[in-house]
Amino acid sequence: MRILVDMDGVVADFEKGVLDTYRNRHPDKSFVPLEQRTSFYVKDNYPNELQPLVEEIYLAQGFYLNLPPIDGSLEALSELTSRGDEIYICTSPLLSNPFCVQEKYDWVINHLGKDWTKRMIVSKDKTIVHGDFLIDDKPEVKGVQQPSWEQILYSQPYNSQVNSMKRMTWRNWKSVIDS
């Protein structure tokens, strides 16, 4: 089985990276805790005047490199691999951050090891990548073609209203993928 695994919000904790930095830098400003997020894009949950402060965090050098891993993700990736599944990290880079692509590769080297960089697929369009499953936290993964994969939604507070597909986290992935 070939499983494509999204990076931000599934393996690398983009939202924690943004929120921790934001609260550190702006202790006096209002913030939106992860559990209260309703929009997929963090910026959209903030009022207009605060949006630039949010945006500058994920546009900065070092942001992607220093993201913490999502709990259980690294262990699950190695377990999936060791049981014989073909795993690829399938990530769409933020093109407005000029450091993003390199830092995603460096992140994978740091947390998973150099061999995993051969399992990286960096594409703005995931529909042209073939697989049995795509594990992704984005409610709508669109592109130029009808995907060959079935999406499994990685549960996050901002996608909790979506009920059109299977969902999972790294706590229950086995029962979902094997069902």
Give the residue numbers marked as catalytic: 6, 8
The distance from CA 35 to its chain's CA centroid, rounded to whole angstroms, is 16
Residue 118 C-beta: closest distance to Mg ion, Å: 21
**Cβ atoms within 10 A of the Cβ of 103, count?**
21
Minimum CB separation from Mg ion for residue 156, in Å? 9
* Chain residues 90-149 in contact with Mg ion, contact rule CB under 5 A: 137
| Positions 1 through 30 that interact with Mg ion (CB under 5 A) | 6, 8-9
The size of the interface with Mg ion (CB under 5 A), counted in residues, is: 4
- Cβ burial of 162 (10 Å; 0-12, 13-18, 19+) is middle
Give DSSP secondary structure letters for 117-162. GGGEEE-S-GGGS--SEEEES-S----SS--SSEEEEEP-GGGTT-
How open is the CA angle 138-114-97, to the nearest 5 degrees? Answer: 45
Instruction: For Mg ion, give the closer residue by CB, 103 or 137.
Output: 137
Q: Which is nearer to Mg ion, 8 or 103 (CB)?
A: 8
Closest distance of CB 35 from Mg ion, Å:
18
**32 or 94: whose CB is closer to Mg ion?**
94
Residues lying near Mg ion in the complex (CB under 5 A): 6, 8-9, 137
